[in-house]
Amino acid sequence: MVSAVRLAKRYRTVTALDGVDLAICRGEVFGFIGPNGAGKTTLIRAIVGALRPTSGTVTVLGLDPLADRWELRGRIGYMPQQPALYPDLTTRRNLAFFAAAHRRRGDGADIDRTLAVVELADRAGDPVRTLSGGMRQRVSLACALVHEPALVILDEPTSGVDPELRAAFWEHFRAMAAAGATVIVSTHQMSEALMCDRVALLRRGRVIATEDPGVLLRSGRATVELWRDGVRTSVTLDDYPSQLPGLIGDGVDRIEVTLEPLDEIVLRLVAGDKR
């Protein structure tokens, strides 16, 4: 669906991508996780054909994002990091304009359906400048989805979105993937990694790990508190799935396991610590 081979983008003084290899499958919800400046947006822009890589290749839906851009752009939906909307136009007009790029009728059912998904049907007639930041984010998402693309690429779609709506967004991303679409989401919210089928961890322009987030979670440390004959001891396990069974022996009254949170695991990985 999307693949990158030794993809690099260098500016005069900055290396934004430094030899990225990637393979994203159809129907996956794939996360780009990493701190600000890790190269997430640059990678996304290379995928959508908004920048020319210095070296390496990207293939999207079997096409070259630059040479075949017009064919590709009809099949992808892209939500940039900043909302990129027309503030003086209404929500509906913004959607109609981006739908018209795909030569879809601007007043049809597509728009109503998409507005319902982002829960903005009641604000369809309001100028975007009158909406809150989170609402603008939803309009921007709607603009990326209105033509039902096969590949959806979302650059930090949930930033500025409240937790309730964030959960609804993720539910929708999962539903799109279940319906056969491929969803690429970048985020610096580590907790969102768990919502992805797989994640690529980015650090300084490199992919340092591509994992199932469950595997990532199991690779974390665990702090175990044991009560044996009324005496409490505490140990930290580096590989708890294999070490933990050995601890549960005779005389253990009580055991409490605290797993390292995913965001700490990811932070540790992107900071360059050994596992």
Partner 1 sequence: MTAAATHPSRAGAVTRNALAQLAGDRRFLILSTVVPIVVIYLLKVFWDALDTPLLQQSRFAVPGGVFIVHFVTYVLTAIVLVRERVAATMERMFISGYRPGEIVAGYLGAYTLLATFQSVLILAWLTWLFDLGLGLGGTLQVYLVMWLMAVVSMALGMLVSNFARNEGQVFPFIPLVMMPPVFLSGMIVGVDALPTWARVVSHIVPLRYAVDVIHKITDGVGALSAWGSLLTLPALAAAILFLAARTLREEV
Distance of CA 212 to the CA centre of its chain: 13
* Contact with partner 1 (CB under 8 A) among 73, 174, 221, 228: 73
Round to whole Å and give the CA distance between 81 and 13.
23
Instruction: Write the CA distances from 21 to 60, 90, 206, integer angstroms.
Output: 13, 41, 9
How far apart are alpha carbons 113 and 136 in whole angstroms? 17
**Shortest spacing between CB 89 and partner 1, in angstroms:** 5
In the structure encoding, which two tokens stand for residue 243, read together?
């070490």
Scored b (16 or more CB within 10 A) or e, 156-175 reads bbbeebeeebbebbbeebee
- Residues in a beta bridge with 6: none
Closest distance of CB 13 from partner 1, Å: 15
Q: How far apart are CA 48 and CA 178, in angstroms?
A: 22
Residue with structure tokens 């600000």? Answer: 36
The minimum distance between CB 53 and partner 1, in angstroms, equals 10
Confirm or reject binding of residue 8 to partner 1 (CB under 8 A). Answer: no
Cβ 93 to partner 1 shortest distance, Å:
6
**Residue choice 2, 41, 43, 78 for contact with partner 1 (CB under 8 A):** 78
Per rule CB under 8 A, is residue 101 in the interface with partner 1?
A: yes
For the CB of residue 161, give the shortest distance to partner 1 in the complex, in Å: 19
102 near partner 1 (CB under 8 A): yes
Q: Does 181 bind partner 1 (CB under 8 A)?
A: no
Query: Closest approach of Cβ 41 to partner 1, in Å?
Result: 11
Question: Is residue 70 at the binding interface for partner 1, with CB under 8 A as the rule?
Answer: yes
Residue 166 CA, chain-centre distance (Å), reads: 12
The pairing of strands 222-228 and 206-211 is unpaired
Q: Does 50 bind partner 1 (CB under 8 A)?
A: yes
User: Residue 66 or residue 217: which is nearer to partner 1 going by CB?
Assistant: 66
> Is residue 143 a contact point for partner 1 (CB under 8 A)?
yes
Determine if 98 is a binding residue for partner 1 (CB under 8 A): yes
The yes or no reply on residue 48 touching partner 1 (CB under 8 A) is yes
Q: Is 126 in the site for partner 1 (CB under 8 A)?
A: no
Number of residues that make up the chain: 275
Count of positions on this chain that bind partner 1 (CB under 8 A): 31
User: By the 8 A CB rule, do 91 and 125 touch?
Assistant: yes
Positive or negative, the CA dihedral 33, 35, 37, 38 is negative
Q: In the complex, which residues of this chain contact partner 1 (CB under 8 A)?
A: 48-52, 66, 68-71, 73-74, 76, 78, 80, 82, 84-86, 88-89, 93, 97-98, 100-103, 106, 127, 143
